[in-house]
Chain A
Amino acid sequence: MNRVQYRGGIHINHAKCIGCGTCYEVCPSDIFEFDSDNNLITVAYPEECWYCGACLYDCPVEGVLTMDLPLACL
């Protein structure tokens, strides 16, 4: 199956991220993965984001997480 690239989703600024794992802990749709050995959080399931903003509200560091909507919604 061809892999279609979609824009939109939650983006992590890894330079600012402190690896606390709060986003991974609270996401209602469980879209993040947390590699605790390397303190690295990634968005593993961007297509399952609800765009609720829970991660944005609870992230303790300003500017780490941003949200873009998929083009279908814009």
Chain B
Amino acid sequence: MSKNDEQITTDVLVLGGGLAGCFAAIKAAESGARVVLFEKGHIRRSGNGATGLHRIPLIHPDHNMDFGEFAKLNVKFAAGICDEDVSYEFARDTLDRILDLESYGIKVRNDDGSFTFKPAPDICPGTPVIWAPGPTVWHDMKPILAKKVESFPEVTVFNRTAAVGLLNDGGRTGGDMAGAVGLETRTGKVLVCRAKAVILTTGGSYRLGRHKDTLYAPTRFIECGCPTNCGEGIVMAYRAGADLVNMEFAKYTTIWKDFSHWGVGPAMGLLRPMDGFGKPFMPEPGEEISLSGIGYRRTMNLGYDTLGPDYYDASSLSGYPENKGDMQRFLWALENESTSPGYFLWMKEREEDFRKGPVEFEWHPPYIHNNQAGIHMNPDAKASMEGLYCAGDLTGGSWRHSSGGAFVFGARAGTNAARYAKEAPFKEIDPEQVQAERDRIFGATAVKPEQGYSWIELEDKARQIASEYGPPYTNDPKLERGIHHLERIRRKYLPALYAENPREIMRVSEVKAIFDAVEIYLRSALFRKESRAPMASLLRKTEYPNRDDANWLKHTLIRRLQGRMTLSTREVKRLEKAVNG
């Protein structure tokens, strides 16, 4: 440790102040804990929910289905790779968290008190989500949540502070949580926070696969998720000894053609996808394949007679083409979605208008986002190490659906971490572990730029390798080759990463995490000897073309043991009997 490091002590340390982190901080404070929150941006507008969202899962027997029924469907549509108990508990809390949002001042109901239930075929059949009750009502959800967080005197928020490493008891990998190290991204100051419990809510990774553009383009951070989220929390947990699962099951989504934002999400709920001849493309009757599987099959020209263009068509919506009925609700959903200003510019420039005709879309490269891949989490939002909790898009082993997962498990993480912190003692921070974290990121400041490599070059290369060699369509020789290239680049060029200012030190931390995330992604895909198509994800291995439940209806388990990445499997959990209500 350096004497210039700021030393902080608290009960519960929340790393990441997005939707999940805000709920975690609120519930921990309500449970009586002192809370410190590190946020790389500013909690007012950070994370995927920065400027809104278009839907929130709501499962309830009074409205759409029993929790047990949802849990069974969730597991089926996850192609079995999902802990059913987490699915059940997720469903159970969805209404309460929506009522929390309402109590914080966010409009969730129509004026007549009803909710607007809509389909989400990327989740399950039926109508498992609610949409916004107005055109702009969810734009300010994040600022309202941030204000609620700031209203607690026992919560201290450190904005512009990136978490860079977890600290274990006595510095031992796998040891109980002792706290974490943070980096002030504008000043380069290091913060060492001692905490009884740590909650990881740093989001998924939207910097895993690479687009058709390189990162040298001005589209560098145009992603379908907040670009500050690059898997650092997942990798921090792994390095500290926590269990990761299913990192081969990256996620795919539809995006605006050439403009890699969300916004096409609402279309996936309601609109027909079709090809340039107007023919809808959906599974053949009896065919078990996800929408992502269809999309990639088309892209790879396997079994389809056209390579696009692909469109979403709104003409079957009630109210079309006027601003009424389902058409109006759809347009409100588009407008409420985070990052919406950009795509209204895109639509205007291209003269694409859902009210006038089909709108062109394409597919985003692989990313990690609230599905099977991530830190293994149990229904109590607990990770595999004592004192470590997690919530939101970085959790894995189940399927928790966008904002709902953040709200439900953010709240559980906060409540349970606070309860744990009441009883647990502080653990011992090892100054050598702190120094190792500092060296890991500050080492780059000693490299002369004219002899070094920028973070952009190194990130671009890692993500190129992920896209070129990784899922969805791959095989063992290809994955082994990709791992070989990644290791070669890491060995020779990553030590030459330079950083000239605090912002670049933040990028060093990110790029090192990206390298680790790509390695875990490729090794997990290599380990799994089958093909499987969970909804929103896909793994197709040439030499193992079929789903193999006899051997592979399991989580892939990734752990750091004795300093080495070790892969094995872990049972998927099933509820013992059908549970209702």
A residues at B contact (CB < 8 Å): 6, 8-9, 25-30, 46-54, 56-58, 67-70, 72-74
A28 and B160 CA atoms in complex are apart in Å by 9
Nearest residue (CB) in B for A34 is B186
Q: Is B111 an interface residue (CB 8 A)?
A: no
Is B57's CB within 8 Å of the partner chain A?
Answer: no
Picked from B213, B226, B345, the residue with its CB within 8 Å of the CB of A28 is: B226
Q: Is the CB of B221 within 8 A of A47?
A: yes
- 14 A-B contacts (beta carbon < 8 Å): A26-B44, A28-B226, A29-B227, A48-B221, A50-B227, A51-B342, A52-B339, A56-B341, A57-B45, A57-B51, A67-B345, A72-B218, A73-B222, A73-B346
Closest to A5 in B: B218
- What mask results when residues 342 to 360 of chain B are scored 1 for a CB within 8 Å of chain A, else 0? 1001100110000000000
A25 touches B221 (CB 8 A): no
Q: Known: A69-B259, A72-B213. Is A52-B219 also a contact (CB below 8 A)?
A: no
> B189-233 interface mask toward A, CB cutoff 8 Å, 1 = contact, 0 = none?
000000000000000000000000100011111110011100000
Which residues 25-59 of B have a CB within 8 angstroms of A? 41-42, 44-47, 50-51
Query: Which residues of B come within 8 Å of A, CB atoms?
Result: 41-42, 44-47, 50-51, 139-140, 143, 160, 185-186, 213, 217-223, 226-228, 256, 258-259, 261, 338-342, 345-346, 349-350, 503
Question: Are B227 and A47 touching (Cβ within 8 A)?
Answer: no
Query: Which residues of A lie under 8 Å from residue B345 when comparing CB positions?
Result: 67-69
In the complex the two chains form, is B50's CB within 8 Å of A54's CB? yes
A51–B140 alpha-carbon span in the complex (Å): 16
Instruction: Please determine whether A50 and B339 come into contact, CB atoms closer than 8 angstroms.
Output: yes
Q: Known contacts A27-B41, A67-B345, A72-B217; is A57 also within 8 Å of B139 by CB? A: yes
How long is the Cα–Cα vector from A62 to B226 in the complex, in angstroms? 26
* Complex partner residue of A50 from B140, B222, B349, CB under 8 angstroms: B222
Chain B residue contacts of A30, Cβ below 8 A: 41, 160, 185-186, 503
A49 to chain B, nearest CB (A): 6
Evaluate contact between A53 and B342: CB separation under 8 angstroms.
Answer: yes
Alpha-carbon distance A68/B349, docked complex (angstroms): 10
Give the Cβ gap from B230 to chain A, nearest Cβ, in Å: 12
Q: Measured between alpha carbons, how far is A28 from B140 in the docked complex, in Å?
A: 15
- 6 residue pairs, one from A and one from B, having the closest CB atoms: A53-B341, A51-B342, A54-B45, A73-B259, A28-B41, A6-B218
Contacting residues, chain B, for A53 (C-beta < 8 A) = 51, 339-342
Residues of B within 8 A of A27 (CB): 41-42, 45
* Inter-subunit contact B45/A72 (CB<8 Å): no
Q: Which residues of B contact A47 (CB under 8 A)?
A: 217-218, 220-221
The answer for the CA separation of A1 and B218 in the assembled complex, in Å, is: 16
Contact B342 A67 (CB under 8 A): yes
User: Closest Cβ of chain A: how far from B491's Cβ, in Å?
Assistant: 25
Closest beta carbon of chain B to A28's beta carbon, Å: 4
Residues on B with beta carbons closer than 8 Å to the beta carbon of A8:
218
Given contacts A26-B42, A28-B47, A57-B139, contact A50 B346 (CB under 8 A): no
Complex contact B338–A52 (CB within 8 A): yes
**Residue from A29, A46, A50, A70 having most chain B Cβ neighbours under 10 A:** A50
Q: In whole angstroms, what is the CA distance A8 to B217 when docked?
A: 11
Contacts of A58 in B (CB 8 A): 44-45, 143
Most buried by A among B41, B46, B218: B218
State the Cβ distance, A71 to closest chain B Cβ, in Å.
9
Given contacts A70-B218, A73-B219, whether A50 and B340 have CB atoms under 8 Å apart is: no
With CB as the reference atom, state the residue of chain A lying closest to B228: A28
Q: Look across to chain A and name the residue whose beta carbon is closest to the beta carbon of B46.
A: A28
Q: Which residue of A lies closest to B338 (CB)?
A: A52
Contact B42 A28 (CB under 8 A): yes
- Distance in angstroms from B159 CB to nearest chain A CB is 8
Q: How far is the CB of B46 from chain A (nearest CB, A)?
A: 5
A69 touches B342 (CB 8 A): yes
B42 near A25 with CB under 8 A, answer yes
On whether the beta carbons of B350 and A74 are closer than 8 Å, the reply is yes
Q: Which of A9, A29, A67, A68 contacts B41 (CB 8 A)?
A: A29
Contacts of B338 on A, CB cut-off 8 Å?
A: 52
CA distance in complex: A30, B221 (Å): 12
The one of B50, B185, B256, B346 that contacts A52, using a Cβ cutoff of 8 Å: B50
Most B CB contacts (10 A, CB to CB) among A48, A57, A58, A73 go to A73
A7 to B345, CA, bound (A): 15
Task: For A71, give the chain B residue with the smallest CB separation.
Answer: B218
Alpha-carbon gap, A26 to B42, bound state (A): 5
Q: Which residues of B contact A46 (CB under 8 A)?
A: 218
- Please, how many angstroms separate the alpha-carbon atoms of A47 and B259 in the complex? 14
Q: Are A52 and B218 in contact (CB under 8 A)?
A: no
Provide the bound-state CA to CA distance between A25 and B160, in Å. Answer: 9
- Using A28-B45, A29-B41, A67-B341 as known contacts, say yes or no to A51 and B222 having CB atoms under 8 A apart: yes
How many Å from the CB of A38 to the closest CB on chain B? 18
Residues from chain B with Cβ under 8 Å of A69 in the complex: 259, 342, 345-346, 349
Task: Give the CA-CA distance A27 to B51 in the complex, in Å.
Answer: 11
Q: Are B228 and A29 in contact (CB under 8 A)?
A: yes
Residues on B with C-beta less than 8 A from A74 are 258-259, 346, 349-350
Residues of B within 8 A of A28 (CB): 41-42, 45-47, 50, 226-228
Pair A54/B51 contact, Cβ less than 8 Å: yes
Query: What residues of chain A lie closer than 8 Å to B346, measured between beta carbons?
Result: 69, 73-74
A residues in contact with B227, CB < 8 Å: 28-29, 48, 50
